[in-house]
Amino acid sequence: MGVPLVFFLSLLIKRLRAFGPVSSPRRVALWVPAAIGDAVLAHPIAVDLAGQFQNSKIVLFLGVTNKVVAPLIAESWAVVPELAGRLEIHTLEAKKPLEALWKILNLEPVDLWLDFGQWPRMPAILTAMAKLFRKAHWTVGFATEGQCRHFAYDSLYLHRSDQHELENFRGLAGALGIKSKSFPSITTDVPNPSPVSPYVVVHMFAGGSKPHLKEPEHTQCVQWIDWLLEDRHVFLTGSSENQLKALFIQKRTKHPERVHVVAGSLSLAQTASLIRGSQFTVSVNTGILHLAAAVGARVLGLHGPTSIRRWGPVGPLGYADPRIRSLKSPLPCSPCLNLGFDYGCPVNRCMQAVRLEDIRNFTQAW
């Protein structure tokens, strides 16, 4: 149903298509439908658009899974004089299309609308509806191979599987003739919630489609944490859904009294502050990994099915940020993911192959 609907909407709005985007837009919208990591990576594009259109208001739409990052992004804008007061943040839940459409119809119209969705068709459909009901003057989105979701956009960027997702996001701005150069940078003044020091943060729980395929086994986590506990404390982060798993891991470590389970008990801003104050963070490829890089922390990313080239952490100093390291699974079939759902096998063998020795080698200098 999604593909025919997108195509049908493209026919309806064809006659509404303007000659081109507004040269001096008053309101610029960016819709990042899902994933904390996507929101962190899209943030620098919003900053660059605000720099290009200095008299514009930036309107950021987040989904139900990444709206938790809104306070951090808002705080990062508030401390920059050129950006302060120029950001609006709203929630649009693509899985509730009628509710999302109602919100769109009640919003002040925007001159530019950039859809950061890579493969789901509902964001493309709702973007087309915004155009149809004259809530968006000019729309931009991805043409992603095999997804057939691009027919109704005014400008397109061909989503590429051979480059980092940050570069794909930059491509949306590039479709408007704007060169985006900024890198992810998140700031927070939230106090560090840790009562102990020194410590490291361990995040072993992934999000998105089939998250268990991006996670190590519990026995691996225990082995890694036991090594980390030699001369420091360890904080296990995660969502409330991860709390029982984190407690299970904690109880099996050699020194559970020095393993602090904060999964489900900290806000995202508190988690960011905790990470920033750590000696370093070890994380699987998920939103927390990208957040850790963006706050300028030392971080080691563990990559099994995920590609470092496509989804590796990027910090304020760019791809070569010395505080960031990435460890790839040694299996030859790794990586296999491109968009986030297209796994090559149903078992997390690539994560099982990640060894303590490799983690030790990557973090020893820290």
Q: In the predicted model, is pLDDT for residue 237 greater than 90? A: yes
**Pairwise CA distance, residues 266 & 277, whole Å:** 15
Residue 315 near residue 167 (C-beta atoms within 8 A): no
**Pairwise CA distance, residues 112 & 135, whole Å:** 10
Q: Each residue of 241-287: pLDDT tens digit?
A: 999 999 999 999 999 999 999 999 999 999 999 999 999 999 999 99
For residue 327, the cross-strand partners are: 302
CATH code that applies to domain 2-174 = 3.40.50.2000
Helix residue ranges, H only, 14-120: 36-52, 70-78, 97-105
What torsion, rounded to 10 degrees, do the Cα atoms 290, 295, 297, 302 define? 0
Q: In the predicted model, is pLDDT for residue 143 greater than 70? A: yes
pLDDT at 19: 72
Confidence of residue 20 (pLDDT cuts 50, 70, 90): confident
Residue 111 near residue 138 (C-beta atoms within 8 A): yes
57-62 and 27-32: which strand pairing? parallel
Q: In the predicted model, is pLDDT for residue 297 greater than 90? A: yes
Measure CA 26 to chain center: 27
Q: Which of 355, 360, 273 is nearest to 325 (CA)?
A: 360
Task: Please give the residue that has the higher pLDDT: either 341 or 237.
Answer: 237
* Section 52-61 average pLDDT: 96
Q: Each residue of 326-341: pLDDT tens digit?
A: 999 999 999 998 888 8
Q: CA angle, corner 15, sides to 13 and 21, nearest 5?
A: 80
DSSP codes of every residue in 187-205: ---PPP---SSSEEEEE--
Measure CA 183 to chain center: 13
Residue 302 near residue 216 (C-beta atoms within 8 A): yes
* Section 312-328 average pLDDT: 96
**Pairwise CA distance, residues 71 & 43, whole Å:** 13
Q: In the predicted model, is pLDDT for residue 1 greater than 70? A: no
Phi-psi region of 238 (alpha: psi -120 to 50; beta: other; left: phi over 0): left
pLDDT at 311: 96
Per-domain residue ranges of the chain: 2-174, 199-360
Fold matches, 2-174 and 199-360: yes
* Crossing angle (nearest 10°) for helices 268-276 and 70-78: 60
For residue 136, the cross-strand partners are: 110
Tokens 């658009």 -> residue: 49
* Section 125-152 average pLDDT: 94
**Phi, psi (5° rounding) for residue 143?**
-100, 100
Residues 306-313: contacts with CB under 8 Å, at least 24 apart? 306/214, 306/335, 306/337, 307/335, 307/337, 307/338, 308/335, 309/162, 309/163, 309/164, 310/161, 310/163, 310/164, 310/165, 310/335, 310/337, 310/338, 311/37, 311/164, 311/165, 311/285, 311/337, 312/164, 313/289
233-236 and 299-303: which strand pairing? unpaired
Fold of 199-360: Rossmann fold (3.40.50)
